A = this chain, B = another copy of it.
């Protein structure tokens, strides 16, 4: 496309050839883990500073172009995928990788958007502190992407979502104006909190260029245990006992169905350390940030009390760091087994009130039996946040066309019937636009559209995300 050539020419003329990627080399940038833009013409702009991004946007202001912000590409909802309706510049933060400052006393980190989550975690650890955010994509997800999508993960129970880590945010509007600051303040009540609005906006309001993140006290000890329980309701009882025993130290409560664990074992991904097969497993992890916290003693008391109250059929306390990591290997294996299986996977990401998890699981199981008795459904996820993922292998070879969509809708309907959400942590992107339109009242959607216009009057920034729009050329990888 002529217009992309013109844009690429202006950018390389101004900043040198390394800032632009086009043609076949640009292909890997044109999507996330789930959605690829196979037909959209793209050009990638890779600024190495906020200033360069700002200048670049201003240099392209008169061209009829869209801009798509891109972090690590680990999203699952198509939030970084050009929707194909117009020529798009993908703006990659991969060269904005400086950790500007770590202040152990101020307990914060200032880092550029392209820093990979795992890098930031490591830097925090080296300063004797920790970042309160981790998720399955930590090895590739960027900080900018994690904040823009308000990423969740396994530690939300203790430290909250990505937005809960956020103290300051520097961003660039589509017109090139820099707003906000990655300041080092814990308290700053000066007008509307633009940082919190941009967090979770999936790159539709502004480009995130740098963030200030809270750092938490470093872990002095970390313990985990795996429990066999008879049902999600029993898992909730056990989680309540865990909170009673260990308080805020509880940082993860991951539920897995026996079927999902069996499947992971069959795929050679991971196996349970428990002797028998159980219907449900709950992984509880806690961490102590003081040497005066007897975490091991607390876990032993929890195990004992859980047996005494007959809340659990079996249980094992990790006796070493290797064993603890083994339990997490099991949890992660449950998710990975689905990916290793040949054939399409249908992922879901709904949340319900914590107390409603048993009803959610029962409702989805019932709906699956009715709609697709031959499909395999794996339940796993974050019990303490009411966010149980249900992933399906829908057997498309024998299932009618449209079944994945029907299953997806079924899960969303079950969640909504329990006052839940159609997107707990993965976001809307291209993937859940219709679901969002069904879930939110028109008045709220139109308010959101007015907010969007306040930031991006030309509608050039990540168009087609969150809000329903004419279908573009983005093709889903796998089914849906």
Contact = CB atoms under 8 A, between A and B. Distances in A.
Interface string A353-397: 111000000000000000000000000001011110000000000
Contacts of A448: 191-192, 194
Contact of A105 (B183, B239, B352, B443): B239
Contacts of A288: 247, 293
A156 interface: yes
A106 B355 contact: yes
A428 interface: yes
A351 B197 contact: no
A333 interface: no
Given A289-B249, A290-B293, A453-B454, A424 B103 contact: no
A217 to B, nearest CB: 4
Given A200-B193, A354-B106, A448-B191, A185 B246 contact: no
A281 interface: no
Interface residues of A, number: 99
Interface in A413-454: 419-428, 432, 436, 439-441, 443-445, 447-448, 450-454
B201 A424 contact: no
Interface stretch (A157-165, A268-276, A313-321): A157-165
A329 interface: no
Given A184-B353, A248-B248, A421-B188, A177 B386 contact: no
Contact of A386 (B149, B187, B248, B290): B187
A186 B385 contact: yes
A92 to B, nearest CB: 22
A244 B246 CA distance: 20
A179 B293 contact: no
A471 interface: no
A292 B294 contact: yes
Contacts of A297: 292
Contacts of A454: 447, 450-451, 453-454
A105 B355 contact: yes
Contact of A193 (B191, B196, B447): B196
Contact of A220 (B173, B192, B247): B247
A157 B214 CA distance: 11
A86 interface: no
Interface string A13-42: 000000000000000000000000000000
A463 interface: no
Contacts of A386: 106, 184-187
B103 A191 contact: no
Nearest to A298: B292
A26 to B, nearest CB: 28
Given A201-B192, A289-B248, A179 B443 contact: yes
A27 B70 CA distance: 54
Interface of A: 103-107, 128, 149-150, 152, 156-157, 160-161, 163-164, 173, 177, 179-180, 183-194, 196-197, 199-201, 205, 216-218, 220, 236, 239-240, 243-249, 288-295, 297-298, 301, 351-355, 382, 384-387, 419-428, 432, 436, 439-441, 443-445, 447-448, 450-455, 466
11 contacts: A104-B240, A106-B354, A106-B386, A160-B164, A179-B444, A186-B384, A189-B424, A193-B196, A194-B444, A218-B247, A245-B290
